[in-house]
Amino acid sequence: MADPKDPDKLSGDWPAEDSGAAGDEGAGSDQDWAAMIADAQNEEDDTDRVLNQDEIDSLLGFDPNASGQTELSGIQALINSALVSYERLPMLEIVFDRLVRLSTTSLRNFTSDNVEVSLDSISSVRFGDYINSIPLPAVLSVIKAEEWNNFGLLTVDSSLIYSMIDVLLGGRRGHGVIRIEGRPYTTIEMALARRMIELILQDTHKAFEPLTPVTFTLERMETNPRFAAIARPANAAILVEFRIDMDGRGGKIEILLPYATIEPIREQLLQMFMGEKFGRDATWEGHLATEIYAADTDIEAVLHEEDIPLSRILTLKEGETIMFERSPSDPIKLRCGDVDLTEAVMGHIGKQVSVRVTRPLNPPSVTMAVFDAMDERSEAEV
């Protein structure tokens, strides 16, 4: 008996007379059977087909030929959907442009050479992705923003370190820097790199000073990225890349600030230009106070107040006297509208009735702290 799963063997077991009697109908059945087998084989091939590299890149949203400004798509867009664009913080560009000018002057004085500093890019990255993308060897400096009570990262690549050391130790111009790979940085190299990093941190402090006072201090220097973890891998951060050129030599410096670090100055970074006012405007406050001081107002001197039943008021007759339990020396109230200002004593000057204030004005029940709280609440709702 033939295997029921094998159509060729089944056709061999059929009687010869049956096939002869079938005639043309048998030939048509063989053709249909062959077509069914071919379709089944094609479906099986489609099921087992492997995606090529272009299809995989399209699915993941990765395009190796696209520029950095290309909009992400696919799974890559879903992964990076939580990143906040630095364009929401336009003041950062002004701060780091100022840092470029300051560091150019400082490094020229530091090296006594022609140094050009340029800002390459400002972007948003995940901290874990940045740590994994750092080309080694490199010097990673953990910096602390004292006033913000948080940390940042300053990375100097090996080409810049060797170029700076070559310049500081009297290397001739116009010659490429010889890299010595496979060994750690020496004590002299780390000391010279520390001086350069501290100089850049001083310039960073000056760059932020017009916006907010902040002091950046160098906590430690690491050569292993694992020891420079200042945030969780999924946390978003601002990455600023600088290019430093010294007559054909140089390299890159990267400053990474997590969003948690710059959160205390988020309102200042949202400004579109330096000096933009948020919340209270001191100029308008001064003008309003001047106009209020020059305004006229009516003040009432209240001798006494007493609650009397309406029934007695309705029964009052001409000549009746209502007695107030007050003496001439008792203080009276000075009132503006419904607000009690202070107390005074009755008197007279010539033919005019006068009052003499006996104590300071009452403190206002509504202070500027109420308006500040309202501003903070409205900003939080926005």
Reported as a single tens digit per residue, the pLDDT across 226-237 is 888 888 888 888
Q: Please tell me whether the peptide bond between 137 and the residue prior to it is cis, using omega within 30 degrees of 0.
A: yes
In the chain, where the domains are located: 86-269, 298-308+324-381
Please report, in angstroms and rounded to a whole number, the separation of the first and last CA atoms in the chain: 81
- pLDDT score, position 67: 43
Reported as a single tens digit per residue, the pLDDT across 266-288 is 888 877 655 444 445 677 778 88
Residue keyed to tokens 């001191």: 282
All residue ranges of the chain with pLDDT < 70 are 1-30, 33, 38-51, 57-88, 172-182, 272-281, 365-382
Class of the CATH-defined domain 86-269: alpha beta
CA distance 162 to 189: 8
- pLDDT score, position 201: 92
- pLDDT score, position 295: 87
Parallel, antiparallel, or unpaired for β 116-126 and 236-246? antiparallel
Class of the CATH-defined domain 298-308+324-381: mainly beta
- pLDDT score, position 346: 84
